[in-house]
Structure 1
Amino acid sequence: MRIPLACLLLLSATVLSQDANPGYIKFINQHINGQMRADRCDHVIRTRQITKTDSNECKETNTFIRATTNLVKPVCGLAGEPYGQLTKSLRPFDIVVCTLKSQGRYPNCQYRGQARTRKIAFRCENGLPVHYDRDIVYFEN
């Protein structure tokens, strides 16, 4: 089966433009880390330069999802369900919640990390996660 070059180029451009979405790229930087550990909050937040929006103040809380983008992205589709204006995962994810210990300025932020298993809720745009909103306690049946 032969795929015309124009179709192949169009498909490639579509995939690349999705992944070039600035909100999605920021979401990945701030919230995706498959190897995250609770004792690595300070280092990862400093390395990724995560701060309050448009400032050099330490972010109060930042949550890392211990998964790949290939597992998180489908929550904006069949692996998620409406949750008010957000989308909620159908299944729980392992996460690390980093909470600021004391007020400070980047890069001198110190966090306390806590590992949890929760469903997650975020805002999706064009089928991609762009804003992490919260984790949701779930109870198995």
Structure 2
Amino acid sequence: MMKEIMRFQVVCLLLVLLSATVFLKNVKDRYEKFIKQHIYENMTADKCDAEMQKRKISILPNGKCKPTNTFVRANNKTVKSICEGKGERYGEMTKSLQRFDIVVCRLKPRAKKPPKCQYSGTKISQKKIIIKCENGYPVHYDGDIDHSEN
């Protein structure tokens, strides 16, 4: 009887460890996707079209062109630090304490059909960004906040 209880406990422990590993892998996969879609330290407004194509983020799963995408002009470590204490709660999200330059890429009006998605960009200076953090990793870009807002 004691042997069966110990086996059961070991199986339970293994299941907990396995599910934690799967969860963490999922978070890291979402973090990698976040980096691909939103982080580029040297991004400029004139690179929108090329970067959207190069990173293969211009076409949505439904087959349509992605209408907008925002790039944060910072490195991965700086943005990740928002989820590690350099940010503050903002509803369900986290708001950066520091300001970032961002580049917003918008789909050109006459280029709305894949594979011909074409983008123009606008550089915007000094915005606080709003992201979703999971287990210390940014996994979703939710928006930015203007100077007039905190």
TM-score by length of 1: 0.80
- 1:126: which partner in 2? 135
Taking a change above 3 Å as real, the CA distance of residues 116 and 19 of structure 1, as seen in their structure-2 partners, is farther
Q: Unpaired runs of 5+ in structure 2? A: 1-20
Residue 30, structure 1, aligned to residue 37, structure 2: yes
> How many positions carry a matched residue from both structures?
126
- 1:90: which partner in 2? 97
Q: Whose helix proportion is higher, 1 or 2?
A: 2
Letter in 1 for 2:114: Y
Separation in 1, partners of 2:144, 2:62: 25
Residue 113, structure 1, aligned to residue 125, structure 2: no
Structure 1 residues 18-27 or 60-69, which shifts more? Answer: 18-27
- 1:75: which partner in 2? 82
Percent identical pairs in the alignment equals 49
Taking a change above 3 Å as real, the CA distance of residues 18 and 57 of structure 1, as seen in their structure-2 partners, is same
TM-score by length of 2: 0.76
User: Per-residue deviation at 1:44?
Assistant: 0.1
Letter in 1 for 2:79: V
Q: Unpaired runs of 5+ in structure 1? A: 1-13
Q: Aligned-residue CA RMSD in angstroms?
A: 2.3
Whichever of the two has the greater Rg, that structure is 2
User: Per-residue deviation at 1:135?
Assistant: 1.0
